[in-house]
Amino acid sequence: MEKKVRIYTTPSCHYCHQTKEYLEQRGIEFESFDVSTDREALKEMKTITGGARSVPVIAICDQVILGFDQEAIEKALRCLE
């Protein structure tokens, strides 16, 4: 299991910005992918979500979270400890 955080976003997504700010404030390192310009990232996002097209999609370790769900993000982040 890889211990990393990946965020699939678009530039105009308010919740995407909110998610990144939240993780930055907590000192969590993450990789961000703009699915509006990165076709491979879009394909990967659809694969891990079963076809979802809305953002943000947050992949933490082996968990995938759709949208900015702070409680789910906190729970998933425990895998990094």
Q: What is the CATH number of the domain that holds 10?
A: 3.40.30.10
pLDDT in tens, 43-80: 999 999 999 889 999 999 989 999 999 999 999 999 98
Confidence of residue 3 (pLDDT cuts 50, 70, 90): low
> In terms of residue numbers, what domain contains 44?
5-80
Query: Residue 2: its pLDDT value, please?
Result: 57
The whole-number average pLDDT for the span 5-34 is: 96
| Among the listed residues 13, 1, 6, the one whose alpha carbon sits nearest the alpha carbon of residue 60 | 6
The total number of structural domains in the chain stands at 1
Mean pLDDT of the chain: 93
